[in-house]
Homo-oligomer: A and B are copies of this chain.
Amino acid sequence: MKNKTNIADSELPIMKVIWEHPNLTSPEIFEYLDGNKNTFKTLLQRLVAKGAVKSAEINARAYRYSAIISREEYTKNEQKGFLQKVFDGSREKMLLNFVKEEKITKEDLQKLMEMIEEE
């Protein structure tokens, strides 16, 4: 089976709103976003269709939406995919690259070190 958690890029902004504000109605979600409303409606529908979001009926004309796939699960999956895809699954390669690209600075390392220490 493929990556079960397949959330398209254009759908992600919607997921982020739902993750942060569960149980909103569709128009409430849309308030947090911009772009075309019809497009938004299609994407929300697709998220429901693919099982990333579930809808609870309020009445025959309105639902409240919340996530089935958690942000954690999604993040974990994306991370794994990224690591595999770009760095052939090698943590070392990835870290070296982050340092090289200055995505990780000395200060970051110090902070992280402390965080790990106090556990």
Contacts and interface: CB of A to CB of B under 8 A. Distances in A.
A32 interface: no
A112 B104 contact: yes
Contacts of A92: 108
Contact of A12 (B9, B85, B96): B85
B103 A91 contact: yes
Interface residues of A, number: 34
Nearest to A78: B86
Nearest to A102: B91
A97 B85 contact: no
Contacts of A113: 106, 109-110, 113
A116 B104 CA distance: 10
Contacts of A95: 104, 108, 112
Contacts of A97: 75, 79
